[in-house]
Amino acid sequence: MERAKALHTMTVEMTTGMLVLAALAVVVLTWLALSGRSQSRLAGTADAVALWGAVIGTPMIALAILSGFRQWPFEAFMNSVIARNKIFTALVALGFWAAFLCLRFAAGKRLWNDNVLAVFALVLAAGGGAYLVFTASIGGTLAQKPSGFEELARMVVETRRTFALSTAGAISLIVVGVLAPIIALRLPRRKARPGAAGMP
């Protein structure tokens, strides 16, 4: 039990750290893209930070979920409203970050040369970050050790009870899930903006 708890704590901390770093880098990249500085040295550094943060942090979400299941029997999770909420929010966060990686790998650095795609990448990172906040707040409640995210998350939704997505929220997730692979598949046929030559 103690080993499982330590493993879960480690994976959660690594996940949070890597993806918060990636999300901040995406914010910087989007700002640079919208201001016409997507090929600056800062943009190159931020892209590397965002990419590696997401590459390491995204699979860590899955490891954090699996390590969480090792702490208690599966039935205990399914019979807990709060635990079910945590599983749900973690899976949604995983979906957002996986979509971000699909977009980034399909487009390469050209992603930041297109303002529309840059904003879409920001939406994916923001969605993944928001659901990580929800997950962290629920984790603090379960462990009876406030993480500091509780009050922030409860400004949007009460995570201690069962909650259902609004119609608008459900539609938004469906739209993101459908658009991400479509955009990724169409990217090889997109032309880079003038001046973007040499960008991989």
Over the stretch 13-65, which tens digit does the pLDDT of each residue have? 788 889 999 999 999 999 999 998 888 899 899 999 999 999 999 998 888 88
Domain that holds residue 121: 2-189
Share of the chain above pLDDT 90, in %: 18
Over the stretch 144-193, which tens digit does the pLDDT of each residue have? 665 555 566 566 666 555 555 556 666 666 676 666 666 655 654 444 44
Q: Which residue has the tokens 């929010």?
A: 89
Residue 196 domain flag: no
Check whether 7 has a pLDDT greater than 90: no
* Structure confidence at residue 25 (pLDDT): 94
Task: Look at phi and psi of residue 48 and say left if phi exceeds 0, alpha if psi is from -120 to 50, else beta.
Answer: alpha
Torsion over CA of 46, 33, 98 and 21, rounded to 10 degrees?
Answer: 30
Which tokens in the block code for residue 80? Answer: 């807990």
Residue 197 domain flag: no
Residue 172 domain flag: yes
Residue 78 domain flag: yes
Number of domains making up the chain: 1
At residue 54, what is the residue type? Answer: A
User: CB of 33 within 8 A of CB of 112?
Assistant: yes
Residue 170 domain flag: yes
Q: Looking at the chain, list the stretches that DSSP marks H as alpha helix, in order from N- to C-terminal side.
A: 2-34, 41-69, 74-78, 81-107, 115-143, 150-153, 167-186
* Structure confidence at residue 200 (pLDDT): 42
* Structure confidence at residue 194 (pLDDT): 44
The full length of the chain comes to 200
Which tokens in the block code for residue 192? Answer: 């880079």
Q: How far apart are CA 68 and CA 96, in angstroms?
A: 20
Residue 169 domain flag: yes
- Report angle CA 41, 119, 199 to the nearest 5 degrees: 40
Residue 135 domain flag: yes
Q: How far apart are CA 136 and CA 117, in angstroms?
A: 28
User: CB of 117 within 8 A of CB of 183?
Assistant: yes
Measure Cα distances from 177 to 23, 61, 85, 152 in Å.
19, 18, 20, 26
User: CB of 120 within 8 A of CB of 176?
Assistant: no
Q: How far apart are CA 194 and CA 199, in angstroms?
A: 11
What is the mean pLDDT of the segment spanning 103-130? 88
